[in-house]
Amino acid sequence: MTRGLFCCPSYSCGILNWPPRIDLVKPGFIEFGEDGLRSLGFIVVTGELDCRDADRDGQPGVEFSWQGSDEGDDASGRGWAALNLDGTLEGHIYFHLGDDSGFRAERFNEAVR
């Protein structure tokens, strides 16, 4: 699960279809772990991921379900992310029965974390 290039990296996130306040509470992020679990956070959304390897258009990728909260209310959904040739991520996140948005993300600079 989530082997190779998705093993344990953390990425800073830019959500494309939401206001530019992605870093409202703390920097937006999505992270993946060797065990297929990890987390995401942006604006006032936090969640835990359950990931599975899934190539997308020939690039290493991952599909995930997520569960967490949005301003304290239960929230869940699904999404996917693929590794671009330049090392950035591109993906999409969906809220169950709600909004969805594409995202782009760059790997966190370890010194910043």
- pLDDT for 2: 42
Return the CATH class of domain 4-107.
Answer: mainly beta
Q: What is the pLDDT of residues 45-69, one digit of tens each?
A: 999 999 998 988 888 899 999 999 9
For residues 47 and 75, is the Cβ–Cβ distance under 8 A? yes
| 76: confidence class by pLDDT, cuts 50, 70, 90 | very high
Whole-model pTM above 0.95? Answer: no
Q: Which is nearest to 89 in space by CA: 66, 59, 111, 110?
A: 59
CB atoms within 10 A of CB 57: 6
Sequence ranges of the domains in the chain: 4-107
